[in-house]
Amino acid sequence: MHEMGIVSGILDASIGAAERSGAIRITEVSVTIGELTEIVDDALHFAFDALTPGTLAEGATLTVTRVGARSRCGDCGTEYEHGRFDVSCPACGGYAVQLLQGRELSIDGVEIDLPEDGTDPIAQTSDASQE
């Protein structure tokens, strides 16, 4: 299941960003995934739930936004949406197409909780490093 490796990368990036921000917890990770990536949502959520215990993301929600496939015809310039197997241009029937979207995998956002004592952990770290 390649979703475990994908989620591991998402978590590494999210936890790294959260730690740099002084977070005490990650509450939500939002990602955008193209329809042509062959990533299965259920497997992605399963991997997320399996890999988050013991991390800043334990108990966090994974929010997935799907992006459909969209291409531009190299023959006539028409832009159109399509499925995995119906890639030909609906205007001219051409197959010389350029994929514009549908293979994305990006982290859109990481929602975090900061310490409640009002201290800015980043400021404390930078003050300590100047001494």
How many structural domains comprise the chain? Answer: 1
Determine, yes or no, domain membership for 129. no
pLDDT tens digits, 72-114: 999 999 999 999 889 999 999 999 999 999 999 999 999 999 9
55 Rama class: left (phi>0) / alpha (psi -120 to 50) / beta: beta
Query: Could you tell me the pLDDT band of residue 2, with boundaries at 50, 70 and 90?
Result: confident
Residue whose pair of structure tokens reads 């390649």 in the numeric block: 2
Question: What domain range includes position 48?
Answer: 3-67+102-115
Rounded to 10 deg, the angle between the 3-20 and 41-51 helix axes is 50
How big is the chain by its Cα radius of gyration, in Å? 20
CATH of the domain at 18: 3.30.2320.50
Predicted confidence at residue 116, as pLDDT, reads 85
Lowest mean pLDDT among 57-71, 100-114, 117-131: 117-131
pLDDT tens digits, 31-45: 999 999 989 999 999
Name the average pLDDT for the chain.
Answer: 89
**Beta strands 25-34 and 61-67, pairing class:** parallel
Determine, yes or no, domain membership for 109. yes
C-alpha span between 57 and 43 (Å, rounded): 18
Q: Are 57 and 26 in contact (CB under 8 A)?
A: yes
| Strand runs labelled E in the chain | 25-34, 61-67, 69-73, 79-82, 97-101, 105-113
Query: Could you tell me the pLDDT band of residue 21, with boundaries at 50, 70 and 90?
Result: very high
Query: Could you tell me the pLDDT band of residue 118, with boundaries at 50, 70 and 90?
Result: low
